[in-house]
Amino acid sequence: LFHQGLGVQVHSSRGVSWSTGFQNSFAYCKTVTFCSSQSTPEVYPLVCILHVCLCSCESSQFHFTHDLHEHHFFLEYVEKNWKEDTFFGYQLLNGLNPMMIHRCSKLPENFPVTEDMVKASLFGKNLEAEIQKGNIFLVDYKRLHGVTANVIHGKQHFLAAPLCLLYMTPEDKLIPIAIQLKQDPGEDNPIFLPTDSEYDWLLAKIFVRNADFAEHELNFHLLRTHLLAEVFAMSTLRNLPMVHPIYKLLISHFRYTLQINTLARQALISKNGVITKNASVGGPGMMEFLKKAVASLTYSSLCMPEDIIARGLESIPNFFYREDGLKLWDIVHRFVQKVIGHYYTCDSDVQEDYELQNWIKEIFFHGFLAETGTGIPQSFSLMTELVKFLTMVIFTVSVQHAAFAGFLFNYIGKSKPPPTTKGQCTESTMLKTFPDINTTVNGMAAVYLLSTQSTDYVALGNGYQDHFSERTPLELIHKNQDVMKKYNFEIQGRNVSLPLSYTYLNPNNVENSVAL
């Protein structure tokens, strides 16, 4: 359908090189999902290196592109406010992991919070009434329950699987009001409250932040952006010729992805990787947790509009991740819709495109392990289905990745178990709970590198013009870039009035692919 002119010559001339070099290089192996079977980044064919990989690992340079004033202001703000309940709540909405929080319609049976416990935090208001009003929220780290904690430098570390209840105050401030550090209630698993001693409450919040790091780094960052991006890239390179419009639309969004994932498997999650050796959820617990994360993966959770509705967060105030993310989803969706409308005139065009059908079939089997419960399509019947899926792919590898990877400092591990009683924690015992300095430095160095930009960084919406040559698609590309620029200025204007700017999803800060 799309093989015309020079493109058909390129496509037909690949012949033997495709069946040998390409198919061998893009073979799958099974981990928690299927991924590339290659163990070193240099083995990919030249076309893959050009389109998908770093040109030279050794010569690539990274530079810190944060505006120094803004960067120092952020660190100063954190240093000043890290103990505050309001900043704790802010992080669950606009920090590195805005994916765990949801509106609480009913208290979990294993989280027996009583009216008396939270009366002071609710300023005398009734808990059940506030639940009905939609002012109570919950984060539940149940996937960490039973996961084996790591042994780091010969010392046993610990993981909590906490539940945290939060309240949206009349001043639109989200604050924690109750924390239980393990899933099973009992005398040795107290519910910590803001009215407890300073260090009891602070340590409880720190264990929540530690659990949040595990969910963020392995589930949302690694699995839901890096590993899915790899499956999308592999299927594109294996099934779509370079003249195919979907190839042209997607290939710039896979720039460097196979390379960086191969390097990550070597340097981060291998036997001697940084996460394996320095995170509480590293070691044997890493695969245990990832299997649980894969089991929770659904199509709707990857589509931001549906995910926000499912978590009941449509109207929660000061939720800039939602505000910016939904806007970018809409921009991407409208662009994809116009491009697809140019190449496909009706639903039957989609149904009869066997290369496209092979593409989505491979994603279903290799990325989502043929699990029909995920809701991932096995084929496309409608143009609207194709547009939605392509929007999700582009959003996942660009916007969503930027939200998770923008600034990766966090608590990496805990060297003491969660407290089982109240009134025993002091500043000294709290500090002893933190990992040793070597573990801390190793972890901070790794996550800081992962939050930098490469010298040949490409922002969202750029790169398409290298693959399209027709007039109409090029016009659509330029219009889309203008829309991105306009929204970039809107975000900058909004941030001027915020005490802490939310810049993760400024289009200029969103890389076009999972490149680091």
Query: What residue numbers does the annotated binding site cover?
Result: 221, 226, 401
SS (H, E, C) 102-131: EECCCCCCCCCCCHHHHCCCCCCCCHHHHH
Q: Is 277 left (phi over 0), alpha (psi -120 to 50) or beta?
A: alpha
- The answer to whether residues 25 and 250 touch, using CB atoms and an 8 Å cutoff, is no
Helical H runs in 344-470? 347-351, 354-362, 383-395, 401-405, 427-433, 437-450
- The answer to whether residues 226 and 423 touch, using CB atoms and an 8 Å cutoff, is no
Q: How far apart (Å, rounded) are the C-alpha atoms in residues 28 and 495? A: 44
Q: Which residues are annotated as a binding site for Fe cation?
A: 221, 226, 401
Q: Which two tokens stand for residue 426?
A: 């002091």
- The per-residue b/e assignment along 190-214, b for 16 or more CB within 10 angstroms, e otherwise, is bbbbbebeebbbbbbbbbbbbbbbb
DSSP label at 507?
G
Q: How far apart (Å, rounded) are the C-alpha atoms in residues 383 and 388? A: 9
For the beta carbon of residue 171, count every other beta carbon within 10 angstroms.
8
Neighbouring residues of 208: CB distance < 8 A, sequence distance ≥ 6:
88, 139, 141, 160, 162, 164, 176, 179
Distances (CA, A) of 120 to 88, 180, 197, 215, 490: 18, 18, 15, 30, 39
Radius of gyration of the chain (CA): 24
